[in-house]
């Protein structure tokens, strides 16, 4: 989440003063939308059970027990870390990727 703030500062520094508020609001909006979409759809596609090996077939909108399980699938390689930590890493990674792409459209 610190990278989101870093990209907000970078984009704000590269734009004119009148657009700084717009850039900051855009980055907050990106993180909010990306968090919701990844929760509802992305987690199931990335880590869902079933499916065809490329896309997951289940696990959309995971419940709290799934995200708070320690050492459970699909993050079983972290023996002492809750799955929510891996989930948040994936959410932030997706949000930063979106911020980089949308940052190219500043003042356009």
Q: What is the pLDDT of residue 86?
A: 77
Of the candidates 75, 78, 90, 103, the one whose C-alpha atom is nearest the C-alpha of residue 9 is 103
For the chain, report the end-to-end CA distance as a whole number of angstroms.
25
- Residue 70's DSSP bridge partners are 82
Q: What is the pLDDT of residue 33?
A: 92
Q: What is the pLDDT of residue 6?
A: 83
DSSP letter (8 states) at residue 15 = S
Centre a 10 Å sphere on the Cβ of residue 58 and count the other Cβ atoms it contains.
11
Query: Token digits for 100?
Result: 């980089």
15-40, pLDDT tens digit by residue? Answer: 888 888 888 888 889 889 998 998 88
Size (the chain), residues: 108
Q: Using an 8 Å Cβ cutoff, are 15 and 23 in contact?
A: yes
pLDDT under 50 in the chain at which residues? none
Query: What is d(CA 91, CA 97) in angstroms, rounded to the nearest whole number?
Result: 10
Query: What is d(CA 38, CA 20) in angstroms, rounded to the nearest whole number?
Result: 27
Query: Token digits for 108?
Result: 């356009």
């Amino acid at each position: 989440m610190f990278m989101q703030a870093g990209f907000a500062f970078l984009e704000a520094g590269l734009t004119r003063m009148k657009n700084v508020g717009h850039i900051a609001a855009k980055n907050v909006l990106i993180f909010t939308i990306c968090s919701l979409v990844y929760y509802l759809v992305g987690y199931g596609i990335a880590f869902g059970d079933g499916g065809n090996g490329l896309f997951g077939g289940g696990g959309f909108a995971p419940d709290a027990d799934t995200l708070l399980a320690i050492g459970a699938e699909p993050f079983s390689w972290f023996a002492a870390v809750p799955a929510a930590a891996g989930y948040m890493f994936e959410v932030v990674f997706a949000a930063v990727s979106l911020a980089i792409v949308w940052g190219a459209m500043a003042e356009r």
